[in-house]
Chains A and B, each alone.
Chain A
C-alpha cells in the first residue's frame, strides 16, 4: 500500500494538505471568544480568579458593578483593573457572568422540564416518553463553573466550517484514478499487473487512511487549541449541558463526548464524500471534471436544505454540528451515519470495479 500512497501523496499534495490544515486551524483560533481571541489571557485569569472565590457569581456581579461605575462615572475605561484594561475586563466579565448564570439556571430548567413531562404523562400524552424524559432530567448532573467558551467556539466552528476539510479530500480523491490515465500507466497496469483490482484497493485504503489521519490531526489540534484558549482541560470532563448549544439535551454526555460525536460525524461524512469523488474520478478519468463535480456534490446538501428547510439532515453542516441531532435524542444521528458510511463504501467499491480495461 505504501507504493500507492507515495503515488497519490507526492510532496506537493502533502505540502498542500499541511498548509490547508494550518489555515483551518488558524481560522478556528481566530474564531475563539467571539473572534476576540486576544482576550484569551484575560478570560483565563478572570475565570481562574472567580472560581477560586467562595461565591464566584456574587463576586463577579460586584466586580462588574465596580468596573462599570469606574468606566461610566470616572471615565477610566483605559485604566488598569484587577486583570487588565477596564473596558476589556467589562467585556469578559459579561460573558463570564452569562456563562455562570447559565450553569446556575440549568437545575431550574431541568426541574421545570421534568414537571412539564410529568404533567404531560398525567394527561395521557405519550406517557412512556414523558416518563422517560422526566427520569432523564432528574438523572442529569449539574456542571461546575468553568471557561466553556473555547469549547463552545470549537463545536460551533465545526458546525459552520467543519465541511471545509471535504475540499482537501476532494482534491486528493479527484486525482486517484485519473493520474493513471494521464500518465498513460493505465495501459501497463491493465496489461501486466497481475491484479489491477488490488492496486485500486490499495489506492482506496491509502485515501481512507489519509482521511482518518487528517481528521485525527485536525481534531486533536482543535482540542489542543481549545484547551490552550480555555487555559485548562477540566471543562472537557464536565456535562455537555454547560454549553449553550446543548442546554436542552437530556443525554448524560460530557463536553469531550460531544466533540467525539463531531469527529465521528466528520469521519462518516468523509467516507461518503470520498466514495462519491472516487467513483466520479473512476468514471470521468479526469481530475478537473471530477473536482468541478465534487464541488457540486458538496454544494448539493446546502442547496437541498434551502429548498426543504424543514428537513434537518439534508444539510451537511447540521449533521457535522451534531448538537441539534443530539438534542433531539432520537436515533437519527446513528442511522444517518450508518447510511453515509455504507453508501460511501459501496461507491468506493464501485470505483474499484470500474478501474479496468475498456
Chain B
C-alpha cells in the first residue's frame, strides 16, 4: 500500500504557487509535515483529500491515479480539516453516526462507540456539539477521521487546542493506527512530531526541503547547537537565537557551525531544525 505524489504543483489564479514540483512516496507510518504559514502544507493535504486538483503532476494510490479511483479512493481516507467542522445542533454521537453513514462504512472498521472512547468523549457523547470546548471539537474531528479505519489519514493540525494529556492521548492513538495506516499530519507543534513521526517533511514556499526520519534531521545539527549566557550582541548576530533557561540561568540557544565565545554544546531538537530551515524565510516575510 503506497501513496505516491509525482511532481505535484498547484498554482492559484492570482499566480500564487502553493506547491512546486512536490514528489514523495508514503507507506504505512506517520509523516509529519512542517513549514511556516503559507508553505503549502494544507494545499498538499487538500490535494490528497481531492478537495483541490493539482495544476500539474498526479497522486497515485496503489499505483493508480486517485482522480480516476473516485469512491474507491474516498473510502480509504479519513480527513481532519484545519478547523474541524461539525453540525453544532447535533450531539457528538449523532454526528459520528452521520459520518459513519455517509462514509458507508457498513460495520467494518471501528464503531462509533470505539471512536468516542478513543478520544475520551464517551461521557459527553450525547451533548450538543455547540456546547463543546475547542479541544472537545478537535477530538470529535479526530474521531470522525478515524471512523471506519481508513488506510490513509490526513490530519491538519490535529493537536491544536488540546492540553498535554489530550495530546498524549491523540499521539498514542495515532501511533497505534500507524501500523497499518498512512498518516500525514500537518502541525506547528514541532515537539509532537518528535515523539511519533516516522518521517518529517519540511516544506518551504511550496518546495520540499527534505523528507527524513527525525533522527536524521537531528543529526544535521549535531555539534551546531549551543547555549550561552544571555548577551545582547548574540541576539543580534544570530537570527535563530532564542532565550532559554538552563539550570535556572537565563541564556541564549544558538545554532552555529562554530561555537560562540563561552558557549556550551546543547542537544539539538526538532525546533532547532525548524528554526534553521525557516528563520530566513520569516525574515523575508
Name the distance in Å between A327's Cβ and chain B's nearest Cβ.
49
The interface stretch among B69-77, B175-183, B191-199 is B69-77
Residue among B52, B83, B102 with the highest chain A CB neighbour number at 10 A: B102
Cβ-defined contact, A358 with B51, below 8 A: yes
Q: Which residue of B lies closest to A183 (CB)?
A: B85
A residues within 8 A CB of B99?
188, 192
Q: Kindly state the separation between the CA atoms of A10 and B78 in the bound complex, as whole angstroms.
A: 27
- Of A188, A191, A194, A358, most B-chain CB atoms within 10 Å: A188
Does the CB pair B79–A191 fall under 8 Å? yes
For window 91-124 of B, CB contacts with A under 8 Å fall at 98-99, 101-104
Q: Which residue of A3, A183, A357 contacts B101 across the interface (Cβ within 8 Å)? A: A3
User: Chain A 278-309 against B: per-residue CB contact (8 Å), 1 yes, 0 no?
Assistant: 00000000000000000000000000000000
Are the C-beta atoms of B77 and A192 separated by less than 8 Å? Answer: yes
Cα separation A189 to B79 with both chains bound (whole Å): 10
- From residue 46 to 64 of chain B, which have CB atoms closer than 8 A to chain A? 46, 49-52
For A198, the closest partner residue in chain B by CB is: B102
B88 at the interface (CB under 8 A from A): yes
Chain A residues positioned under 8 Å from B144 (CB to CB): 188
B88 and A357 contact, CB distance less than 8 A: no
In this complex, the interface size class of chain B, counting residues with CB under 8 Å from chain A, is: 20 to 34
Residues of B within 8 A of A357 (CB): 50-52
Q: Does B36 contact A (CB under 8 A)?
A: no
Report whether A191 and B49 are in contact in the complex, using a CB–CB cutoff of 8 Å: yes
Q: Within the complex, which residue of A3, A190, A195 is in contact with B51, where a contact is CB–CB below 8 Å? A: A190
Shortest distance from the beta carbon of A188 to any chain B beta carbon, whole Å: 6
- A332 beta carbon closer than 8 Å to chain B: no
CA distance A194 to B71 in the complex (A): 5
Contact assessment for A358 and B71 in the assembled complex, using a CB-CB cutoff below 8 Å: no
- Residues in A with CB closer than 8 Å to B74 are 191-194
Which residues of chain A are near B52, meaning CB under 8 Å?
357-358
For the complex, give the distance between the alpha carbons of A191 and B153 in Å: 12
For the complex, give the distance between the alpha carbons of A188 and B85 in Å: 8
Residues in B neighbouring A185, C-beta threshold 8 A:
85-87
A195 to B154 Cα, complex, angstroms: 19
B103 touches which of A3, A7, A187, A193 (Cβ 8 Å): A193
Q: Does B223 contact A (CB under 8 A)?
A: no
Q: A195 to chain B: which residues have CB within 8 Å?
A: 71, 104
B154 partner residues in chain A, CB cutoff 8 A: 191
CA A199 to CA B98, docked complex, whole Å: 11
Given the known interface contacts A193-B102, A194-B103, the answer about A188 and B81 at a Cβ–Cβ threshold of 8 Å is yes
Q: Which of A3, A192, A199, A358 contacts B79 (CB 8 A)?
A: A192
Do residues A191 and B51 form an inter-chain contact, with CB atoms below 8 A? yes
- Give, as a whole number of angstroms, the nearest-CB distance from A229 to chain B: 40
Chain A's closest residue to B72 (CB) is A194
Which of B87, B88, B89, B102 sits near A192, CB closer than 8 Å? B102
* Given known contacts A183-B85, A187-B51, A187-B85, A3 and B98 CB-to-CB distance under 8 angstroms: yes
**Contact: B102 with A199, CB < 8 Å?**
yes
| A124: Cβ under 8 A from any B Cβ | no
Given that A3-B98, A199-B102 are known contacts, is A183 also in contact with B78, CB under 8 Å in the complex?
A: no
Across the interface, name the chain A residue whose C-beta is closest to B141: A188
Which residues of A lie under 8 Å from residue B85 when comparing CB positions? 183-185, 187-188
Q: Would A188 and B101 count as touching, CB distance under 8 A?
A: no
A contact residues around B50 at 8 Å (CB): 190-191, 357
Q: A10-B89, A185-B87 are in contact. Are A194 and B102 (CB under 8 A)?
A: yes
Q: Are A192 and B78 in contact (CB under 8 A)?
A: yes
Q: Which 5 A-B pairs have the closest CB atoms?
A: A184-B85, A191-B49, A193-B102, A194-B104, A191-B79
**27 residue pairs from A and B, CB less than 8 Å apart:** A3-B98, A3-B101, A10-B89, A183-B85, A183-B87, A184-B85, A185-B87, A187-B51, A187-B79, A187-B81, A187-B85, A188-B99, A191-B50, A191-B74, A191-B77, A191-B79, A192-B49, A192-B99, A192-B102, A193-B102, A194-B104, A195-B71, A195-B104, A199-B102, A357-B50, A357-B51, A358-B51
